[in-house]
Amino acid sequence: MSKDDICQVWLAIKTNYNQPMINERDRKSLLAINLGLGINVFLAFIKTIFGILGHSPALLAEGINSTSDVAYYIAASIFVRLANKPADHEHPYGHRQMESIASVVIGSFIVATAVAVFWDSVDKVWDLADGLVSSQGAHTFALWVALGTVVIKVFLTWYIRKLGRDTNNPVVNALAYDHRNDLFSASAASIGIFLGQRGLPWVDPLAGAFVAFLIMRTGIFVLRESSTDLMGVVPNRDLAERIAALLKTVPGVKQLEELQAHRFGPHIVVNLTIGIDGGISVRKGNIIASNVEEKLLSSVPNIKRVHVHYHPADKRHKNMSIDDILGESQKHSSPYQPEYYE
């Protein structure tokens, strides 16, 4: 890549990063990111310094976790702004998939942090067992820092979760899970420091290892949830049942045979196959398909586009249950044309 190409890429990122938010959803998403970023910068500095000075592996592990939070909060901010770009010729559904990609990035950071924290904590346990480090407990100010972190994370968990419900943004939801994880880990660190001060110094590094397991659990969960949005799977049962119920109200639709859906940020694109009377004209079939599209677009707010395929109703698909419909959709999924998800 030439120097000019690099400059163009940087200019594009800078331009998209600085472009104004055009709706309330994006404003709240950036509020969640910027609030978490500012607080984690503060916590990373405080917990790392006092973890070292206070001889607390658990608090130091917390500091490492907050430091990694800063890195992926910056990445999340960039991805959210890029996701706000309008649809174009190459991206007819917009760029909202950037939100799911950002969630994958966040999940990867969380998992990497968990591995680092666990390794450091186990190393401290072995050093303590071999007598290579002092067995004195952590200083009292380390405990106060850990308890202060608990209070801060209680507020952030509640507030960011509220913003996640308001925006239905996978990035904000991932950050809410991370704050909840930080709350649990800070509580574990506080317990470890408290017991370590009372003659159980090995509890502190073990609490650090426990923190690592909590971090890993959250990272795997975020990766699984965000990856689902990027992979081809059938829609969840609630959406499938709702669509099936709506189709029963559309004249001319005899049965629903296949159903897929794919999420693009807050939007859903639906692809379905229906059975109709084989004796009617193509023109009437097109009218039925148009009615299906209008019904779903007007009844389900998050649905952005509907692709309807129809053919003469097959007796084999008569009275199919939702499970049968979803199973049929999985059976006909092509590895070269990823199916859709809600």
Residues 284 and 180 in one domain: no
User: Does the structure show a pLDDT above 70 at 19?
Assistant: no
On whether residue 199 sits in a domain, the answer given is yes
Q: Is residue 70 part of a domain?
A: yes
Interatomic CA distance for residues 35 and 137, integer angstroms: 33
Judgement on whether residues 217 and 277 belong to the same structural domain of the protein: no
Q: Is the pLDDT of residue 307 over 50?
A: yes
Residue 12, pLDDT score? 44
Over residues 154-183, the pLDDT tens digits come to 999 999 999 988 887 878 888 888 888 788
Residue partners of 310: CB distance under 8 A and separation at least 6: 273, 274, 275, 276, 285, 288, 289
Rounded CA gap, 13 and 120, in Å? 36
Q: Is residue 205 part of a domain?
A: yes
Tell whether 340 is covered by a domain. Answer: no
CATH number, residue 284:
3.30.70.1350
Residue 333 CB coordination number (10 Å): 17
pLDDT digits (tens, 9 = 90+) for 258-269: 887 777 666 678
- In a shared domain, residues 288 and 193: no
Residues 294 and 195 in one domain: no
Q: Are residue 256 and residue 310 in the same domain, yes or no?
A: yes
Tokens found for residue 102: 């950002």
**190, 215, 230: which is the final residue of a domain?**
230
> pTM of the full predicted structure?
0.60
Q: Are 78 and 98 in contact (CB under 8 A)?
A: no
Q: Establish if 15 belongs to a structural domain.
A: yes
Does the structure show a pLDDT above 50 at 247? yes
Q: Looking at the domain assignment, is residue 336 inside a domain?
A: no
Quote the number of domains for the chain: 2
On whether both 204 and 260 belong to a single domain, the answer is no
Of the candidates 230, 247, 271, which is a domain's last residue? 230
Residue 341 inside a domain? The answer is: no
Domain boundaries, position 49: 3-230
For residues 202 and 308, state if they share a domain. Answer: no
pLDDT of 151: 94
Shared-domain flag, residues 249 and 204: no
**32 in the same domain as 163:** yes
Q: Is residue 223 part of a domain?
A: yes
For residue 153, the model assigns a pLDDT of 92
Same domain, 218 and 195: yes
Domain boundary among 207, 230, 253: 230
Q: What is the pLDDT of residues 55-68, one digit of tens each?
A: 777 788 788 778 87
Residue 241 and residue 216 share a domain: no
What is the mean predicted confidence (pLDDT) over 108-120?
Answer: 80
94 and 60 within one domain: yes
